[in-house]
Amino acid sequence: MNKASGPSGGTGISPVQLAVLRGRLEQIADEMDATLFRSAFNPIIAEAHDASHGLYDAETGETLVQGKEGLPIFVGVMAFAVRYVIDLTRDDPPKDGDVYIFNDPYEGGTHLSDFKLVRPLFRNGKVFCYLASVGHWHDVAGNVPGNYNPAATESFQEGVHIPPVKLFGAGVRQDDILSILRTNSRLPLSVYGDLNAQVSALDLGHGRLNALLDEYGDDTISAVFAELRARAHLQMQAHISALPDGDVAATDYLDNDGIKDEALPIAVDVHVDGERMVLDFSRSAAQCAGPVNISRSTAIAACYVALKHLFPDVPANAGVLDPVEIIIPDQSLLSATAPKPVGGYTETILRIIDVIFTAIGKLDPSRALANAYGTINALSLAGHRDDGSRWVMFSFFGGGHGGHSDGDGLSHGNAPISMATIPPLEILESAYPVAFRRWSLRPDSGGAGQHRGGLGAVYEVEVLANGADGFFFGERGRHAPQPVGAGKPAALNRFSYRADKQDDTAPETPPMTSKQVGIKLQRGGSVRLETPGGGGYGDPLLRAPAAVAADVRLGYVSTEVARTMYGVALGADGAVDDAGTAALRADMRPETSGQE
């Protein structure tokens, strides 16, 4: 396909035509997303939307267009997955109707649960571009049901590893490949349904894009791709240029790797010079024994997601990273190679996003954003129903987002790596023998601040079947989501469980706080998860007393926290005691007494 001559574009596409065709192309990716979400068998795709689609360059594999509903982190890593297929097929070029499938986490990014399908689209006998689909399959073998094995020390303990192979050869399905995939799952029907849903999404995208090309011509659509790439490049340059030149740094920590109980630093040094930015992760931890390693491609994709959050107007394609240099040393936690375990990649990329947000906030306070809750809290419960059939419930859970210059953080939100939603409890209860005994906001979990952090949540899940095995994979059990300025950190993550309903002893907690495998629950046993909120933004003593009183009325903040963190005294009726508040705040910070 045609290439732009440089970042200035020069394609001759009018602004109106560009806007129309950009919308048409994005709609194709959006329809692919919708097709998969409506057709998939497992709730992680169908309800939580843990999947994504996009269009990719025929020569480089770089992102051309992405869907708006899928996971941004997937779109970033899929560029590496498509490049992997391109490189592997140079001596054996693809044919029309070929579809490649694989889950290699080191070349295509993320972890073994995420299966990638890559399909070339041919025009006039040549590959015009690639369409790609990725979805989180429910179970792909490994030591634990659901595959988030917090005790893994190599990827073989995390699931089956499938290299790029042809699922379809010239349009003919290779049933031996399908048999291998179904055999290597505790839930073969789920695998079959999800795979067919992804194939259907690619079929729809292939038809829609061919129709668009027939309508406007290959050269015009190629020119649109080139122009969108050029504009993303130019807009990122403009945003970087608007930042002050200089050097800033940020460091945060993972609790541990699930094997050795030591904190692991994730650190970035940011250098801005004119239109260029450098993100240097050299001070981050070395690759570790446990499953919080990530591949280089996953780390780069996390940087892409963070920058798109900070500069949301930039078109979502490979041009975003053109003016950005990313430095990741070999043998780093962020550049792991096979067979290092990578199942918990989500926890590490969330910390990458945290440190980038923190560092850029130091350069430009208007973009400062306190940390979100910073963990997906992967939980799996699995067993056999009373009729003997197998069940595996895998889910992730929400928390609070950080306060920011414009207001309070979002309560009970999704992780900033994605558009994925928290599966509804009604779906989980209907699909599995469990009952949610509690699903509520967690009071006092958001960091105090002039703009309060959003609240986390409390979940209690009871097992209704005759026993279950479980595992938990989380973070932020020891290193709380951080604030901005004089704001306060959010609450820590808490996980506990009772093996039996009649057990009146104190609930058990993981030795490493945020990770445990081998949990044994009887019928009536339960797990309890209290997720972090977001960090606070700015001095809590500058929060309007009326806003604090409203938080107390809503149950977001306790009267004790209102008094000790915000310096707000409340009367018996819940109204602000102005005199008591003035005295409290004067005592807490006498140097600013009377200066609110």
Domains of the chain, by residue range, sit at: 15-233, 368-538, 540-592
For 403, 449, 528, 540, the CA distances from 452, given in Å and listed in that order, are: 5, 5, 25, 8
Distance CA 225, CA 214 (A): 16
The strand ranges marked E within 59-194 are 63-66, 99-102, 114-123, 126-136, 165-169, 172-173
Start-to-end CA span in the chain (Å): 61
Number of other residues whose CB lies within 10 A of the CB of residue 247: 14
Task: Walk along the chain (596 residues) and give the pLDDT tens digit of each residue.
Answer: 333 333 444 557 899 999 999 999 999 999 999 999 999 999 999 988 899 999 999 999 999 998 888 787 887 899 999 999 999 999 999 999 999 999 999 988 899 999 999 999 999 999 999 999 999 999 999 999 988 899 999 999 999 999 999 999 999 999 999 999 999 999 999 999 999 999 999 999 999 999 999 999 999 999 999 999 999 999 999 999 999 999 999 999 999 999 999 999 999 999 999 999 999 999 999 999 999 999 999 999 999 999 999 999 998 889 999 999 999 999 999 999 999 999 999 999 999 999 999 999 999 988 899 999 999 999 999 999 989 999 999 999 999 999 999 999 999 998 887 666 788 899 999 999 999 999 999 999 999 999 999 999 999 999 999 999 999 999 999 999 999 999 999 999 999 999 987 777 789 999 999 999 999 999 999 999 999 999 999 999 999 999 999 999 999 999 999 999 999 999 999 999 999 999 999 999 865 434 33
Distance CA 400, CA 377 (A): 13
Whether the bond between 323 and the residue before it is cis, its omega within 30 degrees of 0, is: no
Indicate yes or no: pTM above 0.85: yes
Which residues are CB-contacts of 420 (< 8 A; sequence separation ≥ 6)? 48, 49, 50, 71, 396, 414
User: What DSSP line would sit under 338-360, residue for residue?
Assistant: TTS--TTHHHHHHHHHHHHHHHH
Q: Which residues pair with 169 in a beta bridge?
A: 172
For 3, 186, 187, 385, the CA distances from 389, given in Å and listed in that order, are: 54, 11, 10, 5
Nearest of 83, 128, 80, 134 to residue 108 by alpha carbon? 80
Distance CA 202, CA 223 (A): 23
Dihedral (C-alpha) 508, 514, 518, 520: value to the nearest 10 degrees?
Answer: 40
Please report how the helices 15-39 and 188-216 are oriented relative to each other, as an axis angle in degrees rounded to 10: 160
Q: Specify the 3-state DSSP secondary structure of 445.
A: coil
Q: Which residues pair with 541 in a beta bridge?
A: none
Q: Specify the 3-state DSSP secondary structure of 84.
A: helix
Asked if 25 contacts 54 with a C-beta cutoff of 8 angstroms, the reply is no
The strand ranges marked E within 465-507 are 468-473, 494-498
